[in-house]
Homo-oligomer: A and B are copies of this chain.
Amino acid sequence: MTAKQQAILDAALQLFAREGYAGTATSKVAKTAGVSEGLIFRHFGNKQGLLDAILEQGREHAKQAFAKVVMEADPKKRIEKALEVPYTINQRDYELWRLIYAIKWQTQQYDNSMYDPVRLVLTDAFKQLKYADPKAETELLLMYLDGMATALLLHEPDNKAAILEALKQKYDL
């Protein structure tokens, strides 16, 4: 990965997140990156390839974010760590996450299977803790995470900490 290649990816991420994928011209990406337009197509083939390269980096970030949840042995702590995931997102990665959340409404094939490993370990945790419907609890928790992440990315509520506290109480944490 050369410096200019990374510059293209950075510029594209910024522009795609702010103006949308279809709303961003490759010429603008090139200008922002300080690079000729042709270089984009040499390195990434076409515009879609550029988006794919960004989303690939995003998938790595997601894996990292959930790694600590999957690795946790204690079921109660596992659930607690899952609830905290949205809070662990680094502010400088917000643009990447905003793009990922925007894209999932634009493409018809929403890839929900990405979270299957997390699903597995959460269902197991709820089972160990004798919850009535572990699978439903898992889906519910994932919905919370989605709503929480949306709130953080779009309007960053002032009482973040209190909200997390209220949520933890519902799981006796």
Which residues of A are interface residues toward B (Cβ below 8 A)?
Answer: 18-23, 98, 101-102, 104-106, 108, 110, 112, 131-133, 135-137, 139-140, 142-148, 150-151, 154-155, 157, 159, 162-163, 165-167, 169-170
Contact = CB atoms under 8 A, between A and B. Distances in A.
B139 A163 contact: yes
A143 B144 contact: yes
Contacts of A166: 131-133, 136-137, 140
Contacts of A151: 139, 142-143, 146
Contacts of A159: 133, 135-136, 139
A163 B137 CA distance: 7
A93 to B, nearest CB: 16
Contacts of A157: 139
A18 to B, nearest CB: 7
Contacts of A147: 142-148, 150
Given A136-B159, A146-B150, A147-B148, 4 more contacts: A23-B106, A112-B154, A133-B166, A150-B150
Nearest to A148: B143
Contacts of A20: 20-22, 106
Contacts of A133: 159, 162, 165-166
A22 B19 CA distance: 9
Contacts of A18: 108
Contacts of A150: 143, 146-147, 150
Contact of A140 (B104, B136, B145, B167): B167
A129 B144 CA distance: 22
A150 B142 CA distance: 11
